[in-house]
Amino acid sequence: MKTPTLYIVVPCYNEEEVLPVTSGLFAEKLADLEKKGLCAPDSRVLFVNDGSTDRTWEIVTELSRRDPRFQGIAQSRNRGHQNAVLAGLMEARNRCDVTISIDCDGQDDLNAMDDMLRAYLDGCDVVYGVRARRDTDTVFKRVTAQGFYRFLRWMGAEVVYNHADYRLMSARALNAFADFHEVNLFLRGLVPLVGFKSTSVYYERHERLAGKSHYPLRKMLALAFDGVTSLSVKPIRLITLTGLVISLLSFVGILWALITGLTGHAVAGWASTACIVCFMGGIQALFLGVIGEYVGKIYLEVKARPRYIIAERTEEMEEKP
């Protein structure tokens, strides 16, 4: 196999603090990979500016003026991490043989790229970067993150345990992935559905080099919920099942009421009635909410709005591949 052209896809949202540090690390890594014969000299680092409100895009354009290995595209507005990664991958796929997506904050160990590329050269089209340990996380982050994967699995979404969005994808896998048209993006759940030969590479995750996380608990919960509802209908099945159980129970209740009524033992049962009414009201509202969530997803999918819009590009990215 020929030495592959690699595009490292890096989403950036308000990262002016960390970009000057990590861009240097990315360039060093490219040089290192090239020296080891794992990637071709025309490999690139592709920054995707996700509608930052700080100097992120100026930094990217400045970097690409100084060094052609740095390229960038800018989204027309902030659309979130998943869409930024998708934009970068879709732009990169016709220009390279293989892509690696990675966050720009230096948390993920760049040295795992060596093993990822070796796995690619061995014939894998998808290589997942998996965190071996979570020592640098707070106990709270660790517990919530593990709960996140368990919950997703239990709900029927196929995800690789402890894998986020640090992953290698070949151009072939990306071309297949381009046919997945959903606007509700949850990449780590969708990529396994693309198929092809895949493997995992283990690495240790560090702390952010600078700046702060954009994923507080609120966003993690939203991501988990989105992940489940865009990948699985298990919650609706569980609702149906609960409905069935409640119907059976109420059938027994009706029988009991009839018998006590007919035998003349009926008592003024306000408390039990009130409890049942409250319980039924609550559970129905909850279930309607879950079903509404799916209806909302369908609404968004039917509209099929663009998942990303590119407003600006660095020079080389303007050219047709």
Where do contacts with Mg ion occur on this chain (CB under 5 A)? 103, 105, 107
Give the binding site for ligand UDP (CB under 6 A): 11-13, 15, 50, 78, 80-81, 84, 103-105, 107, 213-215
Closer by beta carbon to ligand UDP, 213 or else 284: 213
Cβ 85 to Mg ion shortest distance, Å: 13
Q: Which listed option, ligand UDP, Mg ion, none, makes contact with residue 50 (CB within 5 to 8 Å by class)?
A: ligand UDP
Closer by beta carbon to Mg ion, 104 or else 113: 104
Closer by beta carbon to ligand UDP, 80 or else 227: 80
Cβ 14 to Mg ion shortest distance, Å: 12
Q: Which listed option, ligand UDP, Mg ion, none, makes contact with residue 13 (CB within 5 to 8 Å by class)?
A: ligand UDP
- Classify 167 as helix, strand or coil: strand
Cβ 50 to ligand UDP shortest distance, Å: 4
Cβ–Cβ under 8 Å, residues 56 and 14: yes
Cβ 213 to Mg ion shortest distance, Å: 6
Closer by beta carbon to ligand UDP, 15 or else 109: 15
- Pair of tokens at residue 98: 């293989």
Alpha carbon distances (Å) from 263 to 110, 271, 320? 78, 22, 85
Helices (H), the chain: 19-35, 56-66, 81-92, 112-121, 139-154, 171-177, 187-194, 217-231, 234-262, 270-303, 315-318
Q: Count the neighbouring beta carbons within 10 Å of the beta carbon of residue 236.
A: 15
Cβ 79 to ligand UDP shortest distance, Å: 7
Closer by beta carbon to ligand UDP, 105 or else 125: 105
100: which residues sit within 8 A by CB, 6+ positions away?
Answer: 6, 7, 8, 9, 113, 116, 166, 167, 168, 169
Cβ 14 to ligand UDP shortest distance, Å: 7
Closest CA relative to residue 229, chosen from 183, 285, 179, 192: 183
Q: Which listed option, ligand UDP, Mg ion, none, makes contact with residue 124 (CB within 5 to 8 Å by class)?
A: none
Compute the Cα dihedral for 148, 150, 155, 159 and give only its sign: positive
Closer by beta carbon to ligand UDP, 50 or else 97: 50
